[in-house]
Structure 1
């Protein structure tokens, strides 16, 4: 998208990278330095009450910087990237209209792309989705994958789990277009700068293990118990979150606390690897060392160029 120079909006600054790399802290520091406000792009931090297990930034840690799109959903609701795109762009426009800088912070790759890139989202049809889900249960995933192979071989080769295969068939049934045709191009919707936090992978592995142990000490199991009482299990997105899924098994007597901790650590490390793979594939990201003493100064400098 191009703008006449006199109408060109301030670039959105996005802080991206794997979980545990310090994105939230850098977002606050950038906002303080650039008269900005933070916009959350972490899908699990939309959920009210999911604080300990998502390492949600506290009021004290926000240092007075306004934060948007935190605590917008109940755990029973399903996060929608299409809804996020609409809400996020409205918030960014509002921030910029007040002469401030929008600082997008998050590690949910598709949500970051939805906020920043030219990206179209097809609609949904609950009845069609239910039919496909029932077919998957009765005939098996292989049957649905075979159907997807016929109409969208690109998606069939790329998608593995039942939820995504069902979604791809739903989109084809609604639009007559293959799901793969809706995949984003690397084209910004409006001017943007992405700052990625480059990590030492072994140090990150150690940090993530320590982080999970600290979450448990801070009351993760008690948080899961509270959320279970208000419908956590019925939430398709929230119930599968790292730590929450494992500690629901503790409540059910299927895992010990120690086993849940280890399972969460393994899953978190795997998630961080997937995040790194996702973000490393985007050549537009400016990478900075997460432990550089000059990190904030360099990030501010990148935002000013």
Structure 2
């Protein structure tokens, strides 16, 4: 790592959906000289633009944006792959004398990029055998085995998928799954800036945002993504708004019972509720990290404050 890279910290803009993270990231990039790296897992997908509030070329204002539109909707995102991609970009952008600006609300992806976090190996054959054993012998047998080799993970697993994964990791690596838990330790100098505000106002913003998405043509976007595999995508098909508007298409095609007629208005309401719930989980996730510097999205001086926070992390020569 050269001197230029050491001088420039990574800036991470985090917080709930609808809080203005993308706008602040672009303003920071313009003010400081930076490039944005997407950390919203749903914005990886090509064609999922309206429903993910993906920034348009005009909105980017000439700022390079990385890791947008890198996957088809049938593909499944990998946190481990993202981690390497993001860290490579940190080095590449820093080497050009620019600030790497990570922006997004997918908490695990943010942690994977910023913190010491090791991903254990996988083995499909071991997993398949354990899944077969789970089906034949039941959860209790596997849970008892996990309690012997990794009691910490055994006390945490809430579902069968995680139970199998914990046993797989132990069998493949010889280490307990709990030993791979992330530490709050940055891999390189970083400043995290969080955006948040009044909860009632956030709810209003999220509802207005979903309404605007519908007006901009979310239903048409979903219909156009269907032939290229939106329904088959394990992740993409469950994205906020996309699952609900797929149901609208089913209703319009007469594929639902008449008693379950589902309209665009209902999809807007359900998407709003789901988005509010998601925002609440994001706030809980990022609030748990004491290193986040919170700013109010309504603060007229939030850009200046974010700049000051960033400069305070830059070593003085």
TM-score under structure 2 length normalisation: 0.87
Check whether the contact 2:11–2:190 (CA below 8 A) recurs between aligned residues.
Answer: yes
| Counterpart for residue 301 of structure 2 | 294
Matched, 1:71 2:78: no
Shift of 1:115: 0.8
Map 1:258-297 → 2, pairs under 5 A: 258-297=265-304
Q: Which is further off, 92-101 or 226-235?
A: 226-235
Shift of 1:140: 6.8
Deviations 1:49-76 (A, max 9, x none): 1111111111111111000011111111
Check whether the contact 1:9–1:190 (CA below 8 A) recurs between aligned residues.
Answer: no
Check whether the contact 1:28–1:65 (CA below 8 A) recurs between aligned residues.
Answer: yes
Structure 1 residues 146, 282: closer, same or farther in 2, change over 3 A? Answer: same
Matched, 1:31 2:29: yes
Rounded Cα–Cα distance in structure 2 between residues aligned with 1:162 and 1:104:
33
Rounded Cα–Cα distance in structure 1 between residues aligned with 2:168 and 2:71:
24
Map 1:37-56 → 2, pairs under 5 A: 37-56=35-54
Rounded Cα–Cα distance in structure 2 between residues aligned with 1:163 and 1:288:
37
DSSP-derived class of the 1:14 partner: strand
Rounded Cα–Cα distance in structure 1 between residues aligned with 2:127 and 2:309:
44
Deviations 1:148-195 (A, max 9, x none): 455434334434344444433332332232222111111000000000
Identify unmatched segments of 5+ residues in structure 1: none
Q: Which is further off, 261-270 or 22-31?
A: 261-270
Rounded Cα–Cα distance in structure 2 between residues aligned with 1:203 and 1:142:
46
Structure 1 residues 140, 94: closer, same or farther in 2, change over 3 A? Answer: same
| Counterpart for residue 238 of structure 1 | 236
Rounded Cα–Cα distance in structure 2 between residues aligned with 1:210 and 1:95:
35
Q: Which is further off, 109-118 or 252-261?
A: 252-261
Shift of 1:101: 0.7
| Counterpart for residue 315 of structure 2 | none
Map 1:67-146 → 2, pairs under 5 A: 67-133=65-131
DSSP-derived class of the 2:231 partner: helix
1:217 alignment partner, one of 215, 230, 254: 215
TM-score under structure 1 length normalisation: 0.91
Deviations 1:87-136 (A, max 9, x none): 11111100000111111101111111111111111122233344555666
Identify unmatched segments of 5+ residues in structure 2: 313-317
Check whether the contact 2:146–2:166 (CA below 8 A) recurs between aligned residues.
Answer: yes
Deviations 1:183-221 (A, max 9, x none): 111100000000011221111111111111211111112
Structure 1 residues 224, 7: closer, same or farther in 2, change over 3 A? Answer: closer
Check whether the contact 2:5–2:94 (CA below 8 A) recurs between aligned residues.
Answer: no
CA-atom RMSD, angstroms? 2.4
Shift of 1:274: 0.8
Structure 1 residues 87, 202: closer, same or farther in 2, change over 3 A? Answer: same
Q: Which is further off, 239-248 or 10-19?
A: 239-248
Rounded Cα–Cα distance in structure 2 between residues aligned with 1:48 and 1:140:
40
Rounded Cα–Cα distance in structure 2 between residues aligned with 1:137 and 1:52:
41
Rounded Cα–Cα distance in structure 2 between residues aligned with 1:103 and 1:162:
37
Check whether the contact 1:31–1:103 (CA below 8 A) recurs between aligned residues.
Answer: yes
Check whether the contact 2:79–2:112 (CA below 8 A) recurs between aligned residues.
Answer: yes
DSSP-derived class of the 1:37 partner: strand
1:11 alignment partner, one of 9, 12, 22: 9
Check whether the contact 2:219–2:245 (CA below 8 A) recurs between aligned residues.
Answer: yes
- Which protein is bigger by CA-based radius of gyration? 2
